[in-house]
């Protein structure tokens, strides 16, 4: 009969010869913590134990436990879902140029806030802002940690205690519970709704100005569509109205496209350049969506507005760090050099033809000796271009218990995130990065050993 007294003590396990290697790899504190968890597991399983595991079995279990615990929770994965800007998987993957820029400043010191020419303190916001204004034609630019922070900062600096108009059709919520009305309330701005859910006219904004509005705010519907009996004023008309009354027009563009998405068979997404050209005084958007860069909130517009925003105390709380600025600067440089489509992973994925994807899937089928090619659809995701899809070719695997196989693939190294649909395990090559293909096939081959894979 196995009892509590049979469970070895922490000291007994620590003194075992094999523990010395574990201590060298994981340290004393971590090893002791794992031993105590192992003891707890043994206590829980006592009713079902007929004999105590041997020392070697216990040390094997301890080693496995430490290996599992030491594995970082933030890990690289292979995105085989076909959702290109997968929010849960980190949205836009960075270009090689952006990765190199991050590495160049991450391992040592940098000119984050140092002016080399003057030999004294500089400003961190110059690094990306100069490139952004050169690309867009905007007077000034500012980078913060994300677009929610950009909206909050702008409203706090420009409209605290003042009325700000927004169409009822644009009182949006995005992932994570970010709601425009809540952010406006937090900033101290007073929400002044105009129009109805599906129809808003220029006259509605005129009435709001008569009621004391100090800013017009437009929130681009980047993650949903309203169709049917709808109406909304053109952006250039709103800009003209705002300027007639010496009021700023702020546009929360969200996705932040710099290239024409129609080129890739998608609906047209307003670009930053277009919105500025139509008269917007301030535009804010994300860095890790259609821009294809790091997580960031970017503000571009009139210099006087950006000066007020830059001086607000909240800016210091939401400003971008050196890694973000390095990656963003390198990404913007690719646009300036005309290399964005060739080197930014998002646009490399969008550019892939159906013929190319189909050929790749058939190569995988030959390699795996399993699966079939299936027509399917990829999506942009990330709260961008709602409802828009791209034709793709899927690798379809007819396996026993596809959900269990998908779970097994998530345990691979690196983890593989697949789709389960219509009782099939589906792999979309469009979202698999070229350098991940070898590990993808290795992971897929492993399921053939554990589950019956049928041709």
Read off the DSSP letter of residue 93.
P
What ranges do the domains of the chain cover?
4-70, 78-87+347-454, 95-341
Round to whole Å and give the CA distance between 374 and 395.
Answer: 6
Read off the DSSP letter of residue 107.
S
**Which residue(s) pair with 193 in the sheet?**
166
**Which residue(s) pair with 281 in the sheet?**
none
pTM value is 0.90
**Domain 78-87+347-454, what fold?**
3.90.1150
**Which residue(s) pair with 83 in the sheet?**
379
What is the number of other CB atoms lying within 10 angstroms of the CB of residue 290? 32
What is the number of other CB atoms lying within 10 angstroms of the CB of residue 200? 22
From the candidate CATH numbers 3.40.50.450, 3.40.640.10, 2.102.10.10, 3.90.226.10, the one assigned to the domain spanning 95-341: 3.40.640.10
Q: pLDDT by residue (tens digit) across 296-320? A: 999 999 999 999 999 999 999 999 9
Q: pLDDT by residue (tens digit) across 437-448? A: 999 999 999 877
Q: What is the pLDDT of residue 455?
A: 44
Q: What is the pLDDT of residue 199?
A: 81
Round to whole Å and give the CA distance between 260 and 283.
Answer: 18
Q: pLDDT by residue (tens digit) across 136-181? A: 999 999 999 999 999 999 999 999 999 999 887 766 666 556 677 7
What H or E segment, with its residue span, contains residue 76? Answer: none
Backbone angles phi, psi at 259, to 5 degrees: -115, 155
Backbone angles phi, psi at 231, to 5 degrees: -160, 140
Q: Which residue has the tokens 């929130």?
A: 219
Low-confidence ranges of the chain (pLDDT < 70): 1, 170-178, 197, 221-230, 449-455
């Amino acid at each position: 009969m196995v009892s509590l007294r049979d469970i070895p003590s922490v000291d007994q396990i620590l003194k075992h010869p094999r523990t010395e290697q574990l201590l060298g790899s994981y340290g004393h504190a971590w090893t002791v913590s794992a031993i105590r968890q192992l003891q707890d597991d043994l206590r829980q399983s006592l009713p079902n134990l007929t004999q105590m595991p041997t020392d070697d079995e216990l040390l094997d279990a301890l080693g496995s436990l430490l290996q599992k615990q030491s594995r970082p929770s933030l890990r690289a994965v292979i995105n085989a879902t076909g959702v290109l800007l997968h929010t849960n998987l980190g949205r836009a993957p960075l270009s090689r140029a952006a990765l190199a820029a991050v590495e160049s400043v991450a391992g040592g010191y940098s000119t984050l806030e140092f002016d080399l020419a003057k030999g004294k303190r500089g400003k961190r916001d110059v690094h990306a802002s100069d490139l952004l204004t050169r690309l867009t034609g905007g007077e000034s630019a500012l980078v913060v940690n994300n677009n929610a922070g950009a909206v909050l900062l702008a409203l706090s600096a420009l409209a605290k205690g003042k009325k700000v108009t927004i169409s009822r059709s644009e009182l949006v919520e995005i992932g994570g519970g970010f709601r425009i009305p809540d952010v406006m309330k937090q900033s101290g701005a007073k929400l002044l709704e105009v129009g109805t859910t599906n129809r808003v006219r220029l006259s509605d904004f005129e009435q709001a100005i008569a009621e004391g509005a100090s800013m017009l705010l437009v929130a681009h519907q980047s993650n949903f569509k309203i169709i049917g009996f709808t109406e909304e004023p053109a952006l250039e008309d709103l800009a003209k109205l705002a300027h007639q009354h010496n009021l700023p027009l702020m546009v929360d563009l969200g996705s932040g496209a710099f290239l024409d998405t129609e080129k890739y068979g998608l609906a047209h997404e307003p670009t930053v350049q277009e919105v500025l050209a139509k008269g917007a005084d301030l535009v804010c958007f994300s860095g890790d969506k259609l821009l294809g860069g790091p997580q960031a909130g970017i503000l571009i517009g009139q210099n006087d507005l950006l000066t007020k925003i830059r001086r607000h105390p909240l800016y210091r709380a939401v400003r971008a760090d050196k890694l973000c600025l390095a990656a963003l600067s390198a990404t913007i440089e690719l646009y300036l050099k005309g290399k964005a489509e060739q080197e930014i992973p998002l646009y490399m994925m969008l550019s892939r033809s159906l013929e190319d994807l189909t050929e790749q899937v058939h190569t995988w089928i030959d390699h795996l000796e399993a699966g079939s090619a299936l027509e399917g659809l990829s999506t942009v995701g990330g709260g961008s271009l709602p409802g828009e899809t791209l034709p793709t070719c899927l690798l379809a695997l007819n396996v026993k218990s596809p959900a269990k196989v998908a779970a097994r693939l998530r345990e691979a190294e690196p983890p593989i995130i697949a789709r389960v649909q219509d009782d099939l395990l589906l792999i979309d090559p469009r979202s698999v990065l070229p350098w991940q293909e070898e590990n993808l096939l290795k992971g897929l081959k492993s399921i053939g050993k554990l589950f019956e894979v049928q041709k």
